[in-house]
Structure 1
Amino acid sequence: MHCTADKRNATVLTSDMVPTGVYVNAIGGDCPGKTELEAALLNRGDVFIEYEPQARIEGDIQHLDAISPVTEMFRVIRGELPGRTADEQLTIFDGVGFAIEDFSALRYLYDLVNGDSPHRKLELIASPVNPKNLFDLAHDAAGQLRKVAGL
Structure 2
Amino acid sequence: GAQIITTCTADKQYATILTDNMVGAGVHINAIGGDCPGKTELAPAILHRADIFVEYPEQTRIEGEIQQLDAEYPVTELWQVINGTAKGRTSERQITLFDSVGFAIEDFSALRYVRDHIKGTDYYIDLDLLADPDDPRDLFGMLDRAAPDM
State the AA in 2 paired with 1:61: I
Q: Percent identity between the aligned chains?
A: 55
- The amino acid of 1:84's aligned partner reads R
- Classify 1:92/1:110 alpha carbon distance in 2 versus 1 (closer, same or farther; 3 Å): closer
Is 1:29–1:35's contact at 8 Å kept on the other side of the alignment? no
- CA shift, 1:71, in A, is 0.5
Distance change in 2, residues 1:12/1:98 (3 Å):
same
In the alignment, is the contact (CA less than 8 A) between 1:4 and 1:27 conserved in 2? yes
Kindly indicate which of the two structures has a greater share of residues assigned to helix. Answer: 1
Partner of 1:45: 50
Deviation of the 1:121 alpha carbon: 3.5
Distance of 2:108 and 2:22 partners within structure 1: 34
Could you report, residue by residue, the CA deviation over 1:11-68 in whole angstroms, capped at 9, with x for unpaired residues? 2111111111101111015110011111111001101110100100010000000121
Map residues 1-151 of structure 1 onto 2, 5 A cutoff. Answer: 1-8=4-11, 9=13, 10-28=15-33, 30-111=35-116, 117-119=120-122, 121=125
Query: As a proportion of its length, which structure holds more strand?
Result: 2
> Residues 112, 76 of structure 1: CA spacing in aligned structure 2 closer, same or farther, 3 A cutoff?
closer
Equivalent residues, number: 121
Unaligned segments of structure 2, at least 5 residues: 128-150
Cα distance change, pair 109–93 in 1 and its aligned pair in 2 (3 A): closer
CA 1:89 to 1:109, structure 2 compared with 1: closer, same or farther past 3 Å? Answer: closer
Provide the rounded CA distance (Å) in 1 between the counterparts of 2:16 and 2:29.
14
Q: CA offset at residue 105 of structure 1?
A: 2.6
Code of the aligned partner of 1:94: D
In the alignment, the residues of structure 2 paired with residue 52 and residue 78 of structure 1 have an alpha-carbon distance, to the nearest angstrom, of 17
How many angstroms apart in 2 are the aligned matches of 1:87 and 1:77? 19
Conservation of the 8 A alpha-carbon contact between 1:30 and 1:96: yes
Distance in 1 (CA, whole Å) between partners of 2:35 and 2:110 is 20
CA distance in structure 2 between the partners assigned to 1:106 and 1:55 by the alignment: 21
The alignment yields a C-alpha RMSD, in angstroms, of 2.0
In structure 2, what is the equivalent of residue 142 of structure 1? Answer: none
